[in-house]
Structure 1
Amino acid sequence: MTVQGTVLRHAAFSAEISAAKINMNSTCQASSAYLQPLWNSVKNNENLLKSCLFPTVFSFSVNFVLCLPFFLLDMLGPCFSFFHRYKIWKDEPFNLEVWWLCLKKIVCNHVVCVFPTSILYGFMRPAYLPDEAPFLPKLIMDVVLGLLLFDTFYFFAHLGLHGVPWLYRNVHSLHHEQRKPFALTSQYSNMLEIIFLHCFALIATYILDCHPLTEIVFFIVNIWLAIENHCGYNFPWATHRLVPLGMFGGAPFHDLHHWRLKCNYAPYFTHWDRLFNTLIEYTEDKQNFGKTGY
């Protein structure tokens, strides 16, 4: 091969690389453009986003709004037979006092736990609002990776909360007062446990260095999945029915944990429980519920 031919081949190869980079940049810009109007409208509220009260108010508001439909379903359940037939414990009566008790505890936890940890995190990582929105594929990837990290942190912490008798009695037993969970019980926990849960979520987004919009989406999804896992309904459109290969537990998976205690420790995914042989599959006839633990 002549020197001239080698040069021509090198030039052609360089042109192909440049074209690929241009296409990649165009794809990224197009992907970012989908989220740019949304990010612009969010960023217009910069003072609100940087407020020390925003994380606490945001967390409580999202919890309250996402729990409200399940509150109505539980209260009016028999009137809506289409939805009521998917309730895991159909014979469990609606108890307004217990809902009110959980709501008061959640308000207290947000004031005493979520607010201080959010203030501390704000000092450690001051709010930065870039002009550009994140790329849509990266946002989705970071949310999924964040959930996997949170799931990992909580699995091993949860294992310890059940494995150490003192921790269970003094920290985690409050969450298990409700053997048949409902939506609000997702945040009905000891203050120390709430602080750790909040820190796990913050650490996950910190490790991934998430864009602020990604953080907002992650926290909404994380709160929703926690509520869905405690809602007490086995809907055919629930997340665990949509994720293939039994990789996601869902409400039936977590109901078994509340009933039997020493199983199904992961909050969302099932891989850690499979690896540690702590997974128990749910069956509609509830024969696998057996006797409650402890």
Structure 2
Amino acid sequence: MTEIWQRPWWFTNSSKPLLQPTWSYLLDNHGSLLHSHLFSALFPAAAYFVICTWFSCLMLIGPSQWRVPRPQILAVGHRSPSERECVVHTLLLSLFFVLPAAVLQSVLRTHIELPSRAPTILELGMGLMASLLLFDTQYFVWHGLHHVCPGLYRSVHAKHHQDHSGLELPISLAHLLPWGLYGGPAYHDKHHKSHKWHLAPYFIHWDRLAGTLAP
């Protein structure tokens, strides 16, 4: 009984973590697919499109109070694009940017031998958080370059500022993490109202250190 109390299910380092049956099934039945370059290229592109589609549906059918209004920052002579145009733009972005980038990453990566042991819930959560922090860092730099290089902004990033919309869902990291560490949609919306603030997509630490956190 003491051993169970000391090793809760979400922290266990036992030989059979909670996710082990699912992980073993995937390795035994789809191991060659998981190791293939094609899967590692198509999966992130497909996941990106599915997630965008899911949030697009929420924008269309979800409660109006979830929606973060588009800020009125469009240049004179520009109009706000329709939902259909936004969906088409997302498809084109997936086809000509996300998918080629995923293919290039897949080709350049070395072979990764997948472990037979599944991660624990804690390890999975820590891995996801580390991935978010790494993405937050590289996006902060890449996003900042778009706003200091006029040509890069006009040719690549301006379309995003025209298409911008957001969802403030009742359950999100912005509401779960303490001390406002995770900005959320309302945080990013301030960037669309004033381009000099809030360059990071998720967390606020880089904006705080760089002086781009809105007062």
TM value normalised by structure 2: 0.76
User: Unaligned regions of 5+ residues in structure 1, if any?
Assistant: 1-22, 78-82, 183-231, 282-294
What is the CA-CA distance between 1:243 and the residue it aligns to?
A: 0.9
Whole-Å Cα distance in 2 between the matches of residues 138 and 151 of structure 1?
20
Partner of 1:173: 158
Whole-Å Cα distance in 2 between the matches of residues 116 and 60 of structure 1?
9
Q: Does 1:41 align with 2:21?
A: no
Whole-Å Cα distance in 2 between the matches of residues 61 and 118 of structure 1?
10
What is the CA-CA distance between 1:234 and the residue it aligns to?
A: 2.2
Does the aligned pair in 2 maintain the 1:35–1:135 contact within 8 Å? yes
Whole-Å Cα distance in 2 between the matches of residues 69 and 118 of structure 1?
21
| Local SS of the residue matching 1:53 | helix
Percent identity of paired positions between Structure 1 and Structure 2: 35
TM value normalised by structure 1: 0.58
- Between Structure 1 and Structure 2, how many residues are aligned? 196
Whole-Å Cα distance in 2 between the matches of residues 134 and 53 of structure 1?
24
Partner of 1:85: 65
Q: Does 1:277 align with 2:211?
A: yes
Distance 1:233 1:115, change over 3 A: closer
Q: Does 1:267 align with 2:208?
A: no
Task: Please identify the structure whose Cα radius of gyration is greater.
Answer: 1
Larger relative contact order (CA 8 Å, sep ≥ 6): 2
| Local SS of the residue matching 2:67 | coil
Q: Does 1:258 align with 2:178?
A: no
Whole-Å Cα distance in 1 between the matches of residues 55 and 99 of structure 2?
26
Q: Deviations over 1:48-90 (max 9, x none)?
A: 323443244423433343344443343345xxxxx32232229
What is the CA-CA distance between 1:255 and the residue it aligns to?
A: 1.3
The more displaced of 66-75 and 271-280 is: 66-75
Q: Does 1:71 align with 2:56?
A: yes
Q: How does 1:138-287 map to 2 (within 5 A)?
A: 138-178=123-163, 181-182=164-165, 232-280=166-214
Q: CA RMSD in A?
A: 2.9
- Whichever residue aligns with residue 93 of structure 2, its letter is N
- Whichever residue aligns with residue 248 of structure 1, its letter is Y
Whole-Å Cα distance in 1 between the matches of residues 52 and 89 of structure 2?
14
